[in-house]
A = this chain, B = another copy of it.
Amino acid sequence: MRNVDKKDVPAVTVPRLAIYLRKLRELRSRGVERISSKDLADMIDLNAAQIRKDFSYFGEFGTRGVGYEVTRLVDEISHSLGLDHSWNVVIVGAGLLGTALARYRGFSEQGFRLVAMFDSSATVIGASYGTGRVRSIADLEDFCREERVDIALVTVPAGEADGTVGRLAAAGVKAVLNFAPVKVHAPEDVLVHQVDLSSELMSLSFYLDREQA
């Protein structure tokens, strides 16, 4: 496999890689061996020139009239996304959202291994959701260090999110997906993404209101 220098792949390309990968895997499972950038573009509502540019980061140049090799692209993109090895994941907060995420099938399919959940409530400690057994939040740092946890999903109440992320960072966790509706602070070498459902709803409301004005 060609060694892609990931520093060359622009940040805006990364979310598209996930979209390509999903569609290419589907094509592969249906036995499709080759696909043109144009046909792929039609399937996922993107521009064919954009797709060719994105694929060129992997040294992949399709042949006119023949297209790209589907299996090869799946391998290259999986490798680039770091999906060809597994990541240890914990969920902090075993409430409704946390437990729903624990049972989310997309996880294990992508090589994300849920190794534990954490909560402060005695009523949920010891329960299991998917592959995640709930442990006491008091054990968070020790567990993350010993088990080399890579990624944490944070679904604690807003007031606890910032402190939780600080503890995770101190324990060596390098990536956080924060679902709490607050901005959290982390050292520079910790990557934090936010999924803010409440803000998404407010944005929809804003546009609806404008349309009806």
* Contact indicator B199/A177 (Cβ below 8 Å): no
Among A30-38, A65-73, A135-143, A181-189, which stretch is in contact with chain B?
A: A181-189
* Residue from A7, A17, A99, A209 whose CB has the most chain B CB atoms within 10 Å: A209
Q: Is A121's beta carbon under 8 Å from chain B? A: no
Name A161-213 residues within 8 Å CB distance of B. Answer: 174-175, 177, 181-183, 185, 189, 191, 193, 195-211, 213
Number of interface residues of A (CB under 8 A): 59
CB contact under 8 A between A206 and B104, given known A197-B195, A198-B18 = no
Q: Please tell me if the beta carbons of B193 and A203 are within 8 angstroms of each other in the complex.
A: yes
* Interface residue? A127 (CB, 8 A): no
- Smallest CB–CB gap between A54 and chain B, Å? 13
Question: Which residues of B have CB within 8 Å of A28?
Answer: none
Within 8 A of B (CB), among A20-58: 21-22, 44-45
Given contacts A96-B100, A195-B200, A208-B191, contact A213 B6 (CB under 8 A): yes
As for how many copies of this chain the complex holds, the number is 2
B22 & A106 in contact (Cβ 8 Å cutoff): no
For residue A104, which residues in chain B have a CB less than 8 angstroms away from its CB? 96-97, 197
A211 to B72 Cα, complex, angstroms: 24
Q: Which residues of B contact A199 (CB under 8 A)?
A: 15, 18-19
Q: Does A151 contact B (CB under 8 A)?
A: yes
**Which residues A107-133 have CB closer than 8 A to chain B?**
107, 110-112
Closest Cβ of chain B: how far from A90's Cβ, in Å?
A: 13
- Tell me if A175 and B208 are in contact (CB < 8 A): yes
Chain A 148-160 per-residue mask, 1 if CB under 8 angstroms from chain B, else 0: 0011000000000
Known contacts A17-B202, A191-B204, A195-B200; can you find 5 more A-B pairs with CB under 8 A?
A: A18-B199, A80-B209, A111-B205, A191-B207, A191-B211
